[in-house]
Amino acid sequence: MAEKILIIEDEEKIARVLQLELEFEGYDTGVAHSGTDGLIKYREQEWDLILLDLMLPGINGLDVLRRIRATESSTPVILLTAKSDVEDKVRGLDLGANDYVTKPFEIGELLARIRSSLRFSVGAVSAEEVHEHLYSFAGLSINIQTRDVIRDGHSIDLTPREYDLLIHLLKHPNQVLTREQLLDEVWGFEYYGDTNVVDVYIRYVRKKIDNGEQSLIHTVRGVGYVLKEDVHEA
């Protein structure tokens, strides 16, 4: 039996293209052009997956998602987001969306995400699965599956080493890590003894993630570094 996909998207052209592509791939589809209509169609029958635009007239995408997740968590939801929706995208994942694609998207990529979400949903663990991949601290979020790093809605580009260092700090919030520990765990033994590299990379990461109001990575003099929230320190 064909799997059924509900498309909730107010831009009729995009909705129409999605519908044609999905039907060509053998899916059954339903289309709604507003949040309200989307919720009505959602309740009318069982769906295998929902494509949900975030910016909708009336009830917006996040509210649609909230209402769906208030009653069940098993139907996979893929968000259709604009580049500027970073903050909403993170909120959407927090609310239990399974994945997202950023417009303009390649149809091939979307189809791959759909297949993967449908596969995941068989065990109905998809929402938790996403949460396992998401680390958040004080407005900073990292999705370790997509390696997306976001601070206060802004996407941040990190080099692989900077990313490894930040994720290590993020996995041990409020815990003082010595330079030796960081060197050992992020760089490995071949850098043994050269802790200056840690200081240099801490500076790089700080520069990229700090928003000017609040530092997240603090120096503990003579010891190392700690990731913590401190509203009193500039």
Catalog residues that contact Ca ion under the rule CB under 5 A: 10, 53, 55
92 vs 139 by CB, closer to Ca ion: 92
The residue whose two tokens read 């603090």 is 218
Of 61 and 96, nearer to Ca ion (C-beta) is 61
Closest CA relative to residue 179, chosen from 219, 123, 214, 207: 219
Q: Which residue's CB is nearer to Ca ion, number 5 or number 15?
A: 15
Least distance to Ca ion, CB of residue 112, Å: 22
Residue among 74 and 84 whose Cβ is closer to Ca ion: 84
Minimum distance between the CB of residue 69 and Ca ion, rounded to whole angstroms?
20
- The answer to whether 3 touches 118, Cβ cutoff 8 Å, is yes
CB of 96 to Ca ion, least distance (A): 20
Of the candidates 118, 79, 71, the residue with the CA atom closest to the CA atom of residue 99? 79
Ordered strands of the 134-137 beta sheet: 134-137, 140-143, 148-151, 154-155
Q: How many CB atoms lie within 10 A of CB 20?
A: 12
Which residues on neighbouring strands pair with residue 100, listed in sequence order? Answer: 79
Closest distance to Ca ion from the beta carbon of 213 (Å):
32
In terms of CB distance, is 101 or 226 closer to Ca ion? 101
Taking the complex as a whole, the smallest distance from the CB of residue 121 to Ca ion amounts, in Å, to: 24
Cα separation values, 175 from 141, 149, 211, 218, Å = 18, 21, 22, 11
